[in-house]
Amino acid sequence: DASVSPSPAPEAERLAVGDLFQPFSPAYQEDPARSFYVEAHARAPVAYSRAFYAYLVTSHAEVMHVLRDPVLFSSARLLEPVVPFTPELLARLEQGTFPLPPGLFNNDPPSHTRARLLFSKAFTPASVAAMEPQIRRFASELAGELASGPDELELMHDFTFKLPMRVIAALVGVPYEDMPQLKAWQDDWFKLFDPALDQATKMAAADGFLAYQRYYADLIAERRKQPADDLISALLRAREGSDMLTTEEMISHLVVLLFAGYETAASLMGSLLFALLDEPELWRRVGDDAALLQAATEETLRMHASVQMEPRHTTRNTTVGGVEIPAGAMVMTFFGAANYDARVFPDPLRFDLTRPNGNRHLGFGWGIHSCLGASLARLEVRAGMQALRAALPDLRLAEGARRSYLPSLFFRTPAAVPAVRG
Ligand code: HEM
C-alpha cells in the first residue's frame, strides 16, 4: 500500500543489496529477477549501488512514487554523458546542433508537456491503426520468405529485427534501403556516451552523428516542399495554436524514435517467441486464439520488458520508501523489478496467462513519459506472431536452445532465438 510509509532497511543492508546489482554478470543477464529483483524486494526495495553511485528503486509502490512526480524525479539529464566530452570532441559536435533540444524521454514539464502535445498530434491512434494492413503485409512477406528458406533459423536476425525496421521506416518516411546507414549513425550516437571508448573512436562517431543530423535536415526540407503520408510530414503540420516544432526539435524526435521503436519491439518479439515456442501446445493454440496471444504478450512484457530501467535525477532532497535521498542523486527506476513485486503480481516468477485486471505491468512505463508507441508495438507483435504462426505452424526452438540476453544496463534484448522450421 503506497499510503503506508515503510521503515527502510538499515544502511548496511541497503548497501549489501546495492552490491547485488551486477547488471553485466552472467547470472544477471540470464535472469535479473532471480539474481536481483526478488532479493531486493525482500531486503531493501530502496537500495544504494556504490558501483553506479545510484539509488535503486525496485518495489512497485516506490517505482510508482517516483513516476508520479516527474518534476522532483527529473528525466532531463537522461542523455548526459557520464564522462564529460573533451573540448575537441565538443567543438566537432558543435559543427552541427549540439546538444539537440530535448525530445520526450529526456525532458521535463512544462517543456515535455508541449513536446508531447505536438508530437501526439502527428502520431495519433488513428495513424497507428491505419498502418495495420501495411504491417500485416510486411509480416506475411517476411514469414513467407522463411517458409521457403533453410530449416534452421535464428529468429532475432531472420524475423524480429526485420519487421520493426520495416515498420519504423514506413512510419517515419525514410527509404528502407537507408536503414542500415541510419542504424550505423545511431550506433555512432551511442558511442559518444560510452565511457569505455577512446577519443579517436568518439571523433569518428561525432562525424557520423553530424551526418545523421544532416540526413534528417535534408529529408525534412524535402517534405516541407513536398509532403507525403508519413510522420515527418505530420510533424511539419503539427500545430498547437501558433506553436509548432522547430527543425532541430524534429531531428531530436526522429533520432530517439528510431531506437525507441525498433530494438524494443524486436526484443519483445524475441522474448515472446521463447515463451510461445517453449510449449508446442501454446504455439498451436495462439494460431486462432487472439486473446491467448494477447495474454502471452502482456505476461512477456511483465517478465521480460525490453526496457528494464530508466534513470531519474532528484531536483531536491527527498525521501523514497523512508530512505533519504539528496538533491542531484541518480535514482534508477526499475520497471522490470516492479513487475515482479509479489504484492501486485502474486507468484511473480510464474509465467501465468490468467492474470486478472488486464495485467497492469509497467513494461511500457507509467505517467507522463509512458510509452507513446505502446499500441504500435502491440500491433506489430500481434501481426508478427500471427504471420509466423500461419507460415510456420511447426516452428520450434532448436534442441537445447535456452533464453540468453545481451549485456545491458537498461535493455533486455535476446542474444539469439535459435529455432527449427519443423
Ligand atoms: C517511452 C517501453 C516501443 C516510442 C517508453 C518508456 C518505456 C517504453 C518503458 C518510458 C520511459 C521512461 O519513463 O523514462 C517500450 C517497449 C516497447 C516500446 C517495451 C516495445 C515493446 C515503442 C515504439 C515507439 C515508442 C514502437 C514508437 C514508434 C516511445 C516514446 C517514448 C517511449 C516516444 C517517450 C515518451 C515520453 O517521454 O513522453 N517506452 N517502448 N516505443 N516510447 Fe516506448
The per-residue pLDDT for range 329-346, each reduced to its tens digit, is 999 999 999 999 999 999
Name, in order, each residue with C-beta under 8 angstroms of 253's C-beta and a sequence gap of 6 or more.
103, 104, 115, 119, 235, 245
Question: In the 8-state DSSP scheme, what is residue 411?
Answer: B
For the segment 82-89, the average pLDDT, to the nearest whole number, is: 88
Cis (ω within 30 of 0) for the bond into 99?
Answer: yes
Predicted confidence band of residue 48 (pLDDT cuts 50, 70, 90): very high
Smallest CA separation from ligand 1 atom 6, residue: 371
Minimal-distance CA residue to ligand 1 atom 36: 369
> Does 421 contact ligand 1 (Cβ within 6 A)?
no
DSSP β-ladder status, 330-333 and 396-397:
unpaired
Q: What is the mean pLDDT of residues 49-56?
A: 96
Residue with cell 486478472: 356
Q: What is the mean pLDDT of residues 5-32?
A: 93
Nine cell digits for residue 123: 502520431
Q: Does the predicted interface ipTM exceed a cut of 0.85?
A: yes
pTM, rounded to two decimals = 0.95
Q: What is the pLDDT of residues 268-294, one digit of tens each?
A: 999 999 999 999 999 999 999 999 999
Q: How confident is the model at residue 80 (pLDDT cuts 50, 70, 90)?
A: confident
Q: How far is the CA of 326 from the centre of ligand 1 (A)?
A: 28
- Mean pLDDT score across all residues of the chain: 94
Pocket flag, ligand 1, residue 219 (CB < 6 Å): no
Give one DSSP letter per residue of 255-287, joined into a string: HHHHHHTTHHHHHHHHHHHHHHHHSHHHHHHTT
For the Cβ of 105 lying below 6 angstroms from any atom of ligand 1, the answer is yes
311 lines ligand 1 (CB under 6 A): no
Tens-digit pLDDT profile for residues 368-422: 999 999 999 999 999 999 999 999 999 999 999 999 999 988 999 999 999 999 8
Gap from CA of 379 to ligand 1 centroid (Å): 14
Examine the pLDDT at 81 and tell me if it is beyond 90.
Answer: no
pLDDT at 5: 58
> Which ligand 1 atom sits nearest the alpha carbon of residue 119?
33
